[in-house]
Amino acid sequence: MLKSIELSGFKSFAKKSTLSFSSPISGIVGPNGSGKSNTAEAFRFVLGEQSMKALRGKRGPDLIWSGNDRQPKAHRARVALVFDNRRKLLDIDFDEVVVERMVHRDGAHDYTINGSKVRLKDVIELLSSANIGSTGHHIISQGEADRILGASTKERKAMIEEALGLKTFHYKKVESEKKLEKTNENMREAQLQQQELALQRTHLERQVKKVERARALKRQLVEHYTRYITLERLRINSEKRRVTELLNGAEHNVTLARERVTKADAKIETEKDTSALGALDVQTQRLAQEKGVLERRRGKLEGTLSVVTNSTEAQHTNQHIPFVKVEALLVDIEKRIQKAHKDNDTSFLHEVVTSVREFLNQCIPNTKTSKHTDSKEALQKELAEVEESLAALCSEEEALAVARTKTLAALREQKAQQNAYFELKEQLREREREYDVAHHEAQALERAQKLLVDIEHRAQDRGIVYTGQAETISLSKEELQELLSEIDRVEARLDEAGGVDESIIQKYEAVCTQGEFIEKEVRDLEHSQQTLLEILSRLDTEIATRFTEGLTKINIEFEKFFSMLFDGGAAQLDVIKESQSGEDEGIEVRVQLPRKKVTTLEVLSGGERALTSIALIFAMSQVNPPPFIILDETDAALDEANSRRYADMIRALSEKSQLILITHNRQTMEAAGELYGVTMGSDGISKLLSVKFDEAVRVTV
């Protein structure tokens, strides 16, 4: 239900004016030029009318109070409609709804609903849900009563549809068609994007395969680097402990060996002169030679003495000594001499034997006549001298032997010390070699450490961060070297492949994501397209069904009201085809006045047209009653009899719709429950006076 309308700065209403509507029928009266029709235009304005011609202006500022010498011009025009929405006629969750429109001097328009700024579209949607609009069957201005009759068949159909409440469906249909067109446009764009993305994806897929191969190489390189660094660190750490212990032990051993050699250096004697032993050997050899000479001399003397002795004894006994016995004696002497001189040079003994043999050979046959030239005493004396010399030589030989033994013992001791010293020196050299080996291992370990640092830097340059993964296995140096060679090979292949360009992956993923998004968007658009087509089909069906049913009801009411106004006759609305395709339709009005052969609107008089239009408007309002109807002097052309019929029809209409009548007709005024009088003084400002007949009747009673 419409509660009130507020006007401020709108046309002739310079000051704030409020018209409250508490009666089913409210009348607005006043002399011509007072501004009462401005109230009807205020309704059009606030309900969203965009035609300045319909508002009797050329531009927005023409609707604003222009001012005078007593009242300055307004900066804006404002009109607000207040609705009682307790029955939720308007589709908004408020018991009271205020729809407001303002126009500013710069031509800008503002719309609000309950103080919240909204769009015109929002206002139209809200009002159309309650069968309210800026124009149409529920706002009929003076001179426009027969507009529905003078409209084209297509325009007339639009008016009928609006009266039947199909404007909302048409609005939805238009919105759906716009959405469908937008959806089709979006689908075409999406399909073009799909084609472009398909080309990009094909191109990027080839690059991605290269990148994926590079990624695989990169993963392999990361694995190799991580494994090599882990195992090499483990090996170096393990070797470092071992080599450190080995180096420390070798250094300690070298120190000990050097100390032993130093101590041995202090103890070892200076090399003894071996010439002393040589001199002893020379003296011993000389003594042996002298002893040999003396022994040969002794032998010779002993032999000569033996012969002399034997010859003397034979001469004394005058006995013959056989040669055989002498020979046996010589053999025995030879054996004894050989036994006595077994270890010495016995060549002189053979000479003695030979001399004795020759002597015997010479003496035995002439034993009786041989003479002894040598005396026995001389031989014995000489033999004694020889024995004495031999004894002295033996003593000297024994002394030399003792001296030689001591000298040999000293030399052996010196040799033993030298051997021990040389053994210590050899041990020192061995310990030094061990130290050198340990030192070389330490240097090799240091080089390995530097190489590992270089490899870690290489890995970092490749963007590989060592994660320190634990390994339970160990590799030999050869295996680690092979792993390092494999790293070099993989790096070479990776460099050849061009590395891992993450931007390609990102582009490919972005294209794939965009492709999936667009594919989903296309599916959604196809679904939306199908949904919108179904909605349009349902809307067409709904509009056609409601229009057919509504038109039937309008025809019933139209004929009833027509018969009431003309005291008989008949009237009907017919659907006609505007084109051969049948897509465009219109509404034709057929009337049959009583006692006249009139079937077309063109031959109706002005009054007859006014009555016909009123009958049609009232019939339309009965089928789908709007919340309120504004009639701006639609009864001006009626005579007194028709005015009474008009008033009766108004009373009937007020049972379904709230009526606001702008009129001069007395019969119409009598039907109103309250009247607003509009006056205008010399200042050109419209003013309001109100009379509520219901209250006046109660006061009178």
Closest CA to 49 of 120, 150, 128, 117: 120
Query: Mind listing the pLDDT tens digit for each residue in 249-263?
Result: 888 888 888 888 888
Asked if residue 370 has pLDDT above 50, the reply is no
Asked if residue 372 has pLDDT above 70, the reply is no
In one-letter notation, the amino acid at residue 49 is E
Q: Which tokens belong to 662?
A: 């702008």
pTM for the structure as a whole: 0.51
- Domain boundary residue among 400, 433, 448? 400
* Residues 637, 614 contacting (CB under 8 angstroms): no
Q: Is residue 4 part of a domain?
A: yes
For the chain, give me the number of helices (H) and strands (E)?
15, 14
Query: Mind listing the pLDDT tens digit for each residue in 411-446?
Result: 777 777 777 778 878 888 888 888 888 888 888 888
Question: CA 598, 602, 605, 608 torsion: positive or negative?
Answer: positive
* Residues 65, 73 contacting (CB under 8 angstroms): yes
Q: Which 8-state DSSP code applies to residue 92?
A: S
Query: Mind listing the pLDDT tens digit for each residue in 130-177?
Result: 777 655 557 777 566 567 788 888 888 888 887 787 877 887 888 889
Element (H, E) at 117: strand 116-118
Q: Is residue 270 part of a domain?
A: no
Q: Strand runs (DSSP E) across 510-627, as ranges?
A: 570-577, 585-592
365 Cβ neighbours under 8 A, 6+ residues apart: none
Alpha carbons 72 and 69: distance in angstroms, whole number? 7
Q: Is residue 324 part of a domain?
A: yes
- Domain boundary residue among 352, 369, 400? 400
pLDDT at 699: 43
Domain of 23, CATH number, reads 3.40.50.300
Structural domain of residue 664, as residue ranges? 1-138+628-641+660-701
Query: Mind listing the pLDDT tens digit for each residue in 187-210?
Result: 898 889 888 888 888 888 888 888
Q: Please state, rounded to an integer, the average pLDDT across all residues of the chain.
A: 81
Element (H, E) at 293: helix 275-317
Asked if residue 81 has pLDDT above 90, the reply is yes
Q: Name the 3-class secondary structure at 249.
A: helix
Compute the chain's Rg from CA coordinates. 77
pLDDT at 555: 92
pLDDT at 430: 86
Q: Which tokens belong to 340?
A: 């006595």
Asked if residue 336 has pLDDT above 90, the reply is no
Tell me the C-alpha to C-alpha distance, in Å, between residue 143 and each of 398, 605, 632, 669: 182, 14, 9, 19
* Residues 323, 361 contacting (CB under 8 angstroms): no
Angle at 7 between CA 29 and CA 662, to 5 degrees: 20
Sheet containing 658-662: order of strands: 139-140, 628-632, 658-662, 25-29, 674-680, 686-692
Q: Is residue 173 part of a domain?
A: no
Q: Name the 3-class secondary structure at 631.
A: strand
Query: Which residue carries 């070099």 as its tokens?
Result: 488
- Domain boundary residue among 368, 400, 432? 400
Question: CA 630, 635, 636, 640 torsion: positive or negative?
Answer: negative
- CB count in 10 Å sphere of residue 192: 11
Query: Mind listing the pLDDT tens digit for each residue in 16-60?
Result: 999 999 899 999 998 888 888 889 889 989 988 888 888 888 888
Q: Name the 3-class secondary structure at 103.
A: strand
pLDDT at 318: 47
Q: Is residue 107 part of a domain?
A: yes
β-strands 76-84, 2-8 pairing: antiparallel
Q: Is residue 129 part of a domain?
A: yes
Q: Is residue 667 part of a domain?
A: yes
Q: Is residue 517 part of a domain?
A: no
**What integer is the mean pLDDT of 96-117?**
94
Report the number of distinct structural domains present in the chain.
Answer: 2
